[in-house]
Structures are given as C-alpha cells and as structure tokens.
Structure 1
Amino acid sequence: MSGRKRIQVDESEWFRTRRQAARLKDVQRALPGMLDDIRRRTHADLERVFGVVEERQRTVEQAVQGLSDRARELESRTQERLRAQARRMAEELRATAGELRRETAEDLAEQEHRLQEEIAAERRERRREVGRLAEEVGELVLDRERAAALAHEAISDARAMHLLVHTAFPADVHPHARRTDSLAEQLDRAAETLGRGRSDAALATAQSVYQGLSDLLQELERHDRERRRDRVRAGELLLHVQHLIKVNAVQDVREAEGEEPTDAVLDVEYWSGGELTRLRAETARLQERVGDEERPPDTGELRDILEHRVPELEQRLAETVERAGRRRQESQMRVNLAGSVVGTLEEITGYELTDGTYSGDDQREAFFAKLVHRNGNEIVVEVAPAGTGGGTAVLRVLSYDRDTTARDELTTRGHEVARGLRDRGIAASDPEAEDGEPDPAYRDFDALRRALPRAATDT
C-alpha cells in the first residue's frame, strides 16, 4: 500500500482573494533624484553632440563665403535655416530632458519635415534660375567670353562644394563615397568640355554637379543631426531604464490594500532568479553601443534601440518585478497551504507539527512540514511549485508508519486533506496514490535544509 498521496492545488482563487498581499509599486515611478541625474547627463550629451554640429556649421559657413555671389546667397540662407533648426532642436531636447515624452520626438520630426520642405522649395527655384541661365548661354553662343566665364564660375563652385562635402563629412563616416566620386568624375568631364570650347555644355554639367553636391551636403547634414538627436534620446532612455532597474530592485510589500508598507520587502533580484542582473548588463551593453565613438551606430540601429529595444527592456523589467512578486506570494502560499494541511492532519490523526523548512533553505523552492505521532509514525507534507507558472502547486502527503496502516485509512486521510483545503476556499483535486513508498530521505530535515533534492519537486 502506498504512503504517497498527491493533490493538485489551484492557487488562482487564493491569489484572487489575497492579490494585494504584496502589491508592487509601479515600475515606471520617477524619483526626483533619478530625474535630476537624467537631466544632468542629457544636458552634458547635448553640449557635446551639438557642439560638434555647431563647429561643422561654422566650417561650412566659412567655405560658403568663397562661392560665387549666386551660390553664396542660396547656401547662406540654407545654412542659416539649418543653424536655427539645430538650436531649436537642442533647446527642446534640453528643456524636455528627463520627461521622456514621445511627443518630443514627434515635434522634432515635424519641425525637421517643415524645414526640409522650405529648403526644397528654395532649391526648386534655384534650379529654375539655373535653367533660365543655361538657356541664355545657349542663345548667346557668340559671346564666348561671357559663356566661358560662367562655365568657369560653375566649375569653381562645384569644386568648392565637392571639397566642402569631403571636409564636413569624410567619406569614411557616410555611405555616399561612390556618389561623390561619380559627381567628381562628371566635374572633370565638364572641365575637359570647357577646354574644347563647349562652354554651354560645360556650364550645364557643372551646374548639375553643383546641385547634386549641394543637395548631398544638406542630406548628410540632416541625417547626421537626426542620428545625433537619436543618440541623445537613446542614451537618455537607456539611462532611465538603468534607474528603473535600480529603484525597483527592492520593493516595499503591503500586506493588504490601503495599508502602510511593513518592514517586509521584495528582493526582486532574488525572486527573479538573477533576471535584474541580466537586464542591467543588457542595458549597459546598449549604452556602450550608443556611446561608441570609434564605430558609431547608424540611424537604423538607433531607431531600433528607440522603438524596439528600450520598450522591450521596460516591458521585461515590468514582467520581472511582477513575476518576482508573484513568486514571493506563491512561496508564502506554500507555507500557508502547508499550514492548512498540517491543521487538518492534526485534527483527524492526532499527529503534531515538529518541523518545517524550504528545500535547500531556499524560499523559491518546495516547502516541507513534518508531523509526528506519539507512536513514532511520521507524516511529511511537501508543497512544491507545479513548474507551470500558472498559479498551481503540487501537494504530497508522505506517510512513514512504523506499524501497518490500512490502505483505506491512507485514502481517507488524503480525502480529508483535500476536503479541508476546499473548506478553506482552496481548489484542490482528489488525491492520487503514487507508486512506491515515500523516500526516507525526506524525513531528514537537516539534509533538506542543506541541499536541494530536485527529485522531491519533480512532477
């Protein structure tokens, strides 16, 4: 006859009636010290990042002064707009540092879109002017001196713009080297054409090259500013995640809704099985990647961090804190459940509780309680996690009898335990007899405290 009785216990009802026992604070809480640190570090990043942008703009503006009057007027207006937009971007990021609002990114994107539309409209007008000039030169082919002067001016502007693109954005930091090389080859052909006396054709080619290089300069400027803006925001959000991990590592535990926190705390690192350490390390790796100056992340990688990686980290943190709290509740539930079983057994059998321990002295594992009868018989109650994560536990009642106990008595004992649990509002299945006799090793509670006998909790 088997002295092993197994009962499946559904903890969901227990959780519903006691779901406030370890209520956790919102993982997104913002502490003043945390926000101050985020603002301080974000402001430092902005000074560094946009300091580079301002230095580059000064270089561009100085180079623009060497262009022809027509080109200088257009490029100066464009640079003035870009400089003003860069300042607005930096000011808005500085003003909203620590707020982490999605609207900030959307507002900046809308500002950038409007700016690019304005610049594009100016450039379309510039192309119309260039077209009219080309027609004039075509009509005045007899005025070779004027035609040659215009062609020389266009080639000179294009060469200056080509040098400026390379100076402001070295080919090794942007993917457009082939494009600039192709435009440079076209410019060389324009010079050769001018040398053969074809001023009209040379002018048209040089102006086309200039427009291509000028557009490329603005495109590179826009992408670079967007990338730098995204680096600042990614660094800010990742720093926020690190702070959230820190402030949520230890949670106050409320014993009931509305009550003040007790001295009990939830150690999220312990109850999550080290998940906080893994989250912290992953966040640190992303922070290092965002700040990599030797091989800086491109816009696509930064967008992935902003739109996917950071939200995933925050979601995992929330799930980790929730899971840690649930595991602590489950652990307490196992003790309470064992207490209910012990109470029932004491009432129906005359056994008395003598000891209790977690397996391996680890509160995340199975809980054991021992009852002893005056005749020397023993009962060990094991309440183990079911391992499904669904709020269930496995209860085993292991009977160690010195005398011969009838099968009917053991079966009755199991049904009485299940009935006692149901009377306490705990959903419990009918008992099932397991093959074989209880392992005598589970009687040694000192050994249970020292080791973690996984076989005892296998289902």
Structure 2
Amino acid sequence: MSGRKRIQVDESEWFRLRRQAARLKDVQRGLPGMLDDVRRQTHADLERVFGVVEDRQRTVEQAVQGLSERARGLETGTQERLRAQARRMAEDLRATAGELRRETAEHLAEQEHRLQEEIAAERRQRRRDVERLAGEVGELVRDRERAAALAREAVSDARTMHRIVHTAFPVDARPHAHRLESLAGQLDRALDTLGRGSAQAAHATADSAYRELGDLLQELERQDRERRHHRVRAGELLRHVQHLIKANAVREVHGAEGEELTDAVLDVEYWSGGELSRLRAETARLQERIGDEERPPDTGELRDILEHRAPDLEKRLAETVERAGRRQLESQLRVNLADSVAGTLEELTGYELTDGTYSGDDQREAFFAKLVHRNGNEIVIEVAPAGTGGGTSVLRVLSYDRDTAARDELTARGQEVTRGLRARGIAASDPEAEDGEPDPAYRDFDGLRRALPRAATDT
C-alpha cells in the first residue's frame, strides 16, 4: 500500500493582486534622476557625433578651395547651407534629449522624410546654381581657345569632386565604387575628346560627371545624417534600458494582498534565474554594436533597434521583474502551505513538526517539512512548483510508518489535508495515491539541504 499521497494545489488567488500590480510602468523607478543622466550622456554623444560631421565639413570646405573660382563659389554656398542644416538637427536632438519617446515606425518615417526634403531642397538649389553657371560658361565657349581652357577646368573640377567624395565618405562611398570608377573613366574620355579638338563635347562630358558627383555627395550626406540621428536615439534608448535594469535589480516586496513588506527585498537576479544578467549582457552588446566604428550599423539595423529591440528589452525587463516577484511569493506560499498541512496533521494525528528546508537550500525549489510521531513514525510534506507558471503547486504527503498503516488511515489522512486546505480558501484537488513507497532519501533533511536530489515529483 502506498504511503505517497498527491494533491494538486492552486494558489493563484493568493497572488492575483500582486500580478495585477505588475505593469510595465512598475520598472520606471527613479526616473527623474535617470533621465538627467541619460540626457547628459546623450549630449556627450551629440558633441562627439556632430563633431565628426563638423570635421568632415571642414575637410570638404578645404578641398573646395581647389576648385575653379566659379565652382568654388557654388560649392561654398552649398556647404554653408548643409552646415546650417546639421546645426539645426543637432539642436533639435539636444532639445529632445531625455524625452525617451517611443521611436515608432511612423515617427521615424516622419523624421527621415523631413531630412530627405531638406537635402532635396538643397539639391534643387544646387542644380539651379549649376545650370546658371553652365549658362555663363556657354557664353564663353564661342572662343575656341577659351572653350578648351574651360573644358580642362571642368575636368579638373570634376576630378576634385571625385576626390572629395572619397575623402569625406571613405566607408559610405564603397557601395558606389563601380559608379565612381565609371565617372573616373568618363573624365578620362573627356580629356581624350579634348585632345582631339572637341572642346565643347569634352566640357559637356565633364560637366555631366561633375553634376552626378555633386548629387552623390549630397546623397551620402543625407544617408550619413540619417544614420547618425538614429544612432544617437538608439544609444539613448539603450542607456535608458541599462538604467532600468540597474534600478530594478533589487525591488521592494509585496505580499499576497499587494501590501509592501518593509523587512524584505526582491533580488531580481536570483529569483529570475539569471535572466537579469542576460538582459544586461544583451543590452551591452547592442550598445557596443551601435558604437562600432570599424563596421558601423546601417540605418536599417539602427531602425530595428529603435523600433523593436530596445522596446522589447524594456518589456522583457518588466516581465522578468514581475516573474521574479511572483516566484518569490510562490516560494513563501509553499512554506505557508506546508505549515497549513503540518498544522492539520498535528491536530489529527498527534505528529509534531520537527524540521523544514528547501531542496538544496534554494528557495526557488520545493519545500519540505518533517513531522515525527512519538512512536517513531514520520511524515514528510513536499510542496513543489508544478512548473506551469500559474501559481500551482504539487503537494505530497509522504508517510514513513514503522508499523503497517491501514489503507483507510492513509486515505483519511489525505482527505483531511484536502479539507483543511479548502477550509482556508485554497483550491486543492482530491488526493491521489501514487504507486510505490516513499523514497527514504527524503527523510534525510541534512541531505536535502546539501544538494538538489532527484525530485520527489518523479514517479
């Protein structure tokens, strides 16, 4: 006859209020101080990121000095307008630093559209300037000798623009290597055409290459600014998540009715089984990724971090904190449940509670309580998580009797335990007898404390 009685216990109502209170906003702790720190770091990012933009613009402006007088005036105006645009973008980012608004796809698309419109307007203005310059040059090419000089000047200006593209955007220009190579060949052909006496044709070819290089330079400028904007925002959101992880590593503890327990704390790392460390490591890897200068992330990858990965990390943090709190509460409930069962058995059978421990001395595991009768008989109560994540526990009453306990006595013992639990408002199933005899190892509480044994739930 089996001395193993199994009872399924549903404790979900015991922590219903606690679970309801665990919302995403619960992880937003100490927000004002965190926002100040995030804002400071974002400002530092802006200084670094737009410092690079300004250095590049100075490089371009110096290179522009190598153009002909007419082209130099045109490109100087273009660079001045681009510099003003970059300054406005930096000011906008600086003004909104720390707001931590969610960068939705719609919002990002709006920002990208605005940037594209600014660059497109600049491109239209530049084309008008180029066309005006071409008209002025057209008046001069009637003089054959003068036409040849202007053609050579046009080729020289186009070659300078070719070098500017390579110098200003050494990485971004790589995807356009074939296009740049083709334009370089176009300029070689312009010189060959000029050598055969066709100055006007050579000038037209060089002028076409110059215009295309100018368009490419502005397109690269747009892509770079878009990427840098996303990079700053992604870094800001990830720093926010890092602060939240740090702030939520230790939390206040709430009881079954949602009240704060001032004499206890929640170690989220412990109760989440290391999930907090995994979130911390994943966030740090993303921060490293967006800061990678050798292989910088493109706009698509940064957009994915902004729209999906950073918000997902924050959501998972909230879930981790909630789950850790629930597990800690469930652990305490296992002790409470064992105490209720022990009290019922003491009243019914004359057994006395002598010991209690968690398996492996780990509060996340099953809790065991031992009761001993004066005749030497023992009862071990095991309350183990059911593994469903829904607050359900498996209760076993393991009877170790020196004499031969009657089947009716063991059955009555299980039924009394069930009635006692239900009287306390705990939903408990009818007891079920399990095959076999209780494992003697579960009488050794020193052994239970030292290591995690084979689970008593195994049959």
Aligned CA distance change for structure 1 residues 439 and 271 (closer, same or farther; 3 Å):
same
- Give CA deviations for 1:4-25 in whole Å, capped at 9, x if unaligned: 0111122223332665799997
* Matches of 2:23 and 2:73, distance apart in 1: 65
Give the count of matched residue pairs. 456
* Matches of 1:18 and 1:62, distance apart in 2: 65
Match of 2:455, SS? helix
Q: Which residue of 2 aligns with 1:114?
A: 117
Aligned CA distance change for structure 1 residues 409 and 256 (closer, same or farther; 3 Å):
closer
Shift of 1:172: 7.8
* Matches of 2:120 and 2:397, distance apart in 1: 76
Aligned CA distance change for structure 1 residues 31 and 271 (closer, same or farther; 3 Å):
same
More deviation, 346-355/358-367: 346-355
Shift of 1:106: 6.3
Shift of 1:199: 2.2
Tell me if structure 2 keeps the 8 A contact 1:21–1:253.
Answer: no
* Matches of 1:157 and 1:273, distance apart in 2: 65
Q: Which residue of 2 aligns with 1:148?
A: 148
Match of 1:456, SS? coil
More deviation, 140-149/52-61: 140-149
- The answer as to 2:445 corresponding to 1:445 is yes
More deviation, 354-363/111-120: 111-120
* Matches of 1:284 and 1:180, distance apart in 2: 38
* Matches of 2:94 and 2:21, distance apart in 1: 42
Q: Which residue of 1 aligns with 2:292?
A: 292
- The answer as to 2:192 corresponding to 1:192 is yes
Q: Which residue of 2 aligns with 1:56?
A: 56
**Where does 1:334-345 land on structure 2 (aligned, <5 Å)?**
334-345=334-345
**Where does 1:23-422 land on structure 2 (aligned, <5 Å)?**
26-68=26-68, 70-102=70-102, 108-126=111-129, 129=132, 143-170=143-170, 174-255=174-255, 259=259, 262-422=262-422
Match of 1:338, SS? helix
Tell me if structure 2 keeps the 8 A contact 1:385–1:394.
Answer: yes
Shift of 1:205: 1.4
More deviation, 100-109/55-64: 100-109
* Matches of 1:153 and 1:371, distance apart in 2: 102
Aligned CA distance change for structure 1 residues 99 and 371 (closer, same or farther; 3 Å):
same
- Gapped regions of structure 2 (runs ≥ 5): none
Tell me if structure 2 keeps the 8 A contact 1:414–1:431.
Answer: yes
Aligned CA distance change for structure 1 residues 415 and 299 (closer, same or farther; 3 Å):
same
Match of 1:237, SS? helix
Tell me if structure 1 keeps the 8 A contact 2:158–2:209.
Answer: yes
* Matches of 1:355 and 1:213, distance apart in 2: 83
* Matches of 1:316 and 1:421, distance apart in 2: 35
- Give CA deviations for 1:170-217 in whole Å, capped at 9, x if unaligned: 258742222211111111111111111222321221111111111111
Q: Which residue of 1 aligns with 2:425?
A: 425
TM-score normalized by the length of structure 1: 0.90
Shift of 1:260: 5.3
Aligned CA distance change for structure 1 residues 45 and 69 (closer, same or farther; 3 Å):
same
TM-score normalized by the length of structure 2: 0.90
Aligned CA distance change for structure 1 residues 18 and 415 (closer, same or farther; 3 Å):
farther
Q: Write the letter of the residue equivalent to 1:226.
A: E
Q: Write the letter of the residue equivalent to 1:320.
A: T
Tell me if structure 1 keeps the 8 A contact 2:377–2:401.
Answer: yes
Aligned CA distance change for structure 1 residues 113 and 247 (closer, same or farther; 3 Å):
same
Aligned CA distance change for structure 1 residues 90 and 246 (closer, same or farther; 3 Å):
same
* Matches of 1:179 and 1:21, distance apart in 2: 59
Tell me if structure 2 keeps the 8 A contact 1:10–1:427.
Answer: yes
Tell me if structure 2 keeps the 8 A contact 1:151–1:203.
Answer: yes
More deviation, 301-310/247-256: 301-310
Aligned CA distance change for structure 1 residues 22 and 262 (closer, same or farther; 3 Å):
farther
Identical positions, percent: 79
Shift of 1:289: 2.4
Shift of 1:248: 0.3
Q: Write the letter of the residue equivalent to 1:407.
A: R
Match of 1:29, SS? coil
More deviation, 123-132/415-424: 123-132
* Matches of 1:225 and 1:21, distance apart in 2: 42
Match of 2:263, SS? coil
* Matches of 1:21 and 1:182, distance apart in 2: 64
Shift of 1:321: 0.9
Q: Write the letter of the residue equivalent to 1:292.
A: D
Shift of 1:46: 1.6
Shift of 1:388: 2.2
More deviation, 90-99/395-404: 90-99
More deviation, 244-253/338-347: 338-347
* Matches of 1:17 and 1:93, distance apart in 2: 41
Match of 2:262, SS? coil
* Matches of 1:440 and 1:404, distance apart in 2: 16
Match of 1:26, SS? helix
Q: Write the letter of the residue equivalent to 1:454.
A: R
Q: Write the letter of the residue equivalent to 1:321.
A: V
More deviation, 281-290/70-79: 70-79
Match of 2:9, SS? strand
Shift of 1:67: 3.0
Q: Write the letter of the residue equivalent to 1:273.
A: G
Tell me if structure 2 keeps the 8 A contact 1:161–1:214.
Answer: yes
Match of 1:454, SS? coil
Aligned CA distance change for structure 1 residues 365 and 173 (closer, same or farther; 3 Å):
farther
* Matches of 2:23 and 2:297, distance apart in 1: 40
Aligned CA distance change for structure 1 residues 161 and 98 (closer, same or farther; 3 Å):
same
Q: Write the letter of the residue equivalent to 1:117.
A: A
